[in-house]
Structure 1
Amino acid sequence: NKDEIQTKLKVPDEIKENDYVIDKTLIEDIENKLKKNPLAIISDYTVEKKTEYPLLPYSLSELQLVAGKKYNYEPKLVLDTVQSLYEKKLTTYPRSDCSYLPENQFDNATEILNTLSNIDDNFKTLIQEANPKLKSKAWNDKKITAHHAIIPTAKQCDINNLSETEKNIYKLISTCYIAQFYPAHIYNKTDIKINCNDYIFTATGKTILDLGWKKIYKANHNDEENILPICHKDDKVIFINSNITEGITKPPKRFTPATLLEAMKKIDKFVKAPEVKAILKNVSGIGTEATRASIIEKLLDKNFIAKDKQNLIPTKYGESIYKILPHFLKTPDITAIWENELSKIAEGTGDVQKFLGGQIKIINEAIKQTKTLKLDIDMPKCPYCHSILRPVISKKTNLKYWICKNFSTAEDSKCKKGIFSDKDDKPVLIHCNKCRKGYMKKNISKDNKIFWGCDNYPKCKNIMSDKNGLPNNSTNTKRKKLFK
Structure 2
Amino acid sequence: LAMLAERDAKITLFHKEKYHLLRLTLDGTEAVSEKFTDPTEAEQAAVMCKGAAVTCTSVTKEQKKEQPPKLYDLTTLQREANRLFGYTAKQTLDYAQSLYEKKLLTYPRTDSRYLTSDMAETASCVIHLAAKLPPFDGCTNFFPLVEAMISDKDVSDHHAIIPTMEIEKADIKGLPLGERNLFLLVCCKLLCASAEPYVYETVTATFDCCGHSFTAKGKRVLAEGWREIDRIFRAFLKEKPADGDGSTLPDFTEGQTFDGAEVAVTEHFTQPPKPYTEDTLLSAMENAGKDGIPDEAERKGLGTPATRAAIIEKLVAAGFVERRGKSLIPTKTGINLVTVLPEPLTSPMLTAEWEQKLTEIAKGGADPDTFMDGIRTMVQEIVSTYSCISEDGKKLFAPEKEVIGTCPRCGQPVYEGKKNFACSDRSCGFVLWKNDRFWTSRKKELTKKMATDLLKKGRTNVKGMWSEKKQAAYDAAVILDDTGGKYINFKLEFPKRKEGVNGRK
User: Taking CA–CA contacts closer than 8 Å with sequence separation of 6 or more, which of the two structures ends up with the larger relative contact order?
Assistant: 2
SS of the residue 1:174 aligns to: helix
Aligned to 1:217: 230
Sort the Cα spacing of 1:243 and 1:147 in 2 relative to 1 into closer, same or farther, 3 A. Answer: farther
State how 1:132-211 maps to structure 2 within 5 Å.
Answer: 132=144, 134-135=145-146, 137-155=148-166, 156-211=169-224
Offset of residue 185 of structure 1: 1.7
Distance in 2, matches of 1:137 and 1:191, equals: 32
Note the residue ranges of structure 2 that are not aligned, 5 or more in a row.
Answer: 1-25, 233-240, 401-505
CA contact (8 A) 1:106 1:139 kept: yes
CA contact (8 A) 1:279 1:340 kept: no
Distance in 2, matches of 1:280 and 1:322, equals: 31
Aligned to 1:6: 30
Distance in 1, matches of 2:325 and 2:39, equals: 37
Distance in 1, matches of 2:81 and 2:163, equals: 16
Offset of residue 79 of structure 1: 0.8
Offset of residue 159 of structure 1: 1.5
Distance in 1, matches of 2:77 and 2:375, equals: 34
CA contact (8 A) 1:208 1:223 kept: no
Aligned to 2:280: 259
Aligned to 1:56: 70
1:155-202 Cα offsets, whole Å, 9 max, x none, are 132114422111111111011112234322221111223344444322
CA contact (8 A) 1:320 1:375 kept: no
State how 1:74-473 maps to structure 2 within 5 Å.
Answer: 74-116=88-130, 119=133, 121-126=134-139, 129-132=141-144, 134-135=145-146, 137-155=148-166, 156-218=169-231, 220=241, 223=244, 226-237=247-258, 240-267=261-288, 276=292, 284-335=300-351, 356-373=372-389, 375-376=394-395, 377-378=397-398
SS of the residue 1:232 aligns to: coil
Counterpart residue identity of residue 230, structure 1: D
CA contact (8 A) 2:148 2:194 kept: no
Distance in 1, matches of 2:151 and 2:109, equals: 19
Give 1:68's match in structure 2, choosing from 57, 74, 82. Answer: 82
Give 1:26's match in structure 2, choosing from 15, 31, 41. Answer: 41
CA contact (8 A) 2:289 2:352 kept: no
Distance in 1, matches of 2:339 and 2:265, equals: 42
1:27-51 Cα offsets, whole Å, 9 max, x none, are 3333344348x34443332211222
1:35-86 Cα offsets, whole Å, 9 max, x none, are 48x3444333221122222222111111101111111111011111111111
Distance in 1, matches of 2:138 and 2:275, equals: 39
- Larger Cα Rg: Structure 1 or Structure 2? 2
CA contact (8 A) 1:111 1:154 kept: yes
Distance in 1, matches of 2:386 and 2:317, equals: 21
1:75-117 Cα offsets, whole Å, 9 max, x none, are 0111111111112211111011111122332222443245435
Counterpart residue identity of residue 339, structure 2: K
Aligned to 1:46: 60
Note the residue ranges of structure 1 that are not aligned, 5 or more in a row.
Answer: 16-20, 270-274, 381-484
Distance in 1, matches of 2:353 and 2:266, equals: 44
Moved more, 321-330 or 68-77: 321-330
Sort the Cα spacing of 1:27 and 1:346 in 2 relative to 1 into closer, same or farther, 3 A. Answer: farther
Distance in 2, matches of 1:312 and 1:225, equals: 32
Sort the Cα spacing of 1:357 and 1:336 in 2 relative to 1 into closer, same or farther, 3 A. Answer: same
Offset of residue 225 of structure 1: 6.4
Offset of residue 290 of structure 1: 0.7
1:420-470 Cα offsets, whole Å, 9 max, x none, are xxxxxxxxxxxxxxxxxxxxxxxxxxxxxxxxxxxxxxxxxxxxxxxxxxx
CA contact (8 A) 1:206 1:223 kept: no
SS of the residue 1:368 aligns to: helix
SS of the residue 1:375 aligns to: helix
Aligned residues: 361
1:189-235 Cα offsets, whole Å, 9 max, x none, are 11223344444322221011222222222265995660112233343
Counterpart residue identity of residue 265, structure 2: I
Aligned to 2:491: none
Offset of residue 268 of structure 1: 5.1
Sort the Cα spacing of 1:350 and 1:44 in 2 relative to 1 into closer, same or farther, 3 A. Answer: farther
Distance in 1, matches of 2:98 and 2:375, equals: 38
1:294-326 Cα offsets, whole Å, 9 max, x none, are 110111122211222332222222122111112
CA RMSD after TM alignment: 3.4
Distance in 2, matches of 1:131 and 1:166, equals: 28
CA contact (8 A) 1:268 1:278 kept: no
Offset of residue 289 of structure 1: 0.7
Counterpart residue identity of residue 41, structure 2: L
Counterpart residue identity of residue 30, structure 1: A
Sort the Cα spacing of 1:9 and 1:208 in 2 relative to 1 into closer, same or farther, 3 A. Answer: same
SS of the residue 1:245 aligns to: strand
Superposition TM-score, scaled by structure 2 size: 0.63
Counterpart residue identity of residue 186, structure 2: I
CA contact (8 A) 1:51 1:186 kept: yes
Distance in 2, matches of 1:169 and 1:224, equals: 26
Superposition TM-score, scaled by structure 1 size: 0.65
* Percent of pairs with identical residues: 32
Distance in 2, matches of 1:104 and 1:172, equals: 24
Distance in 2, matches of 1:197 and 1:331, equals: 53
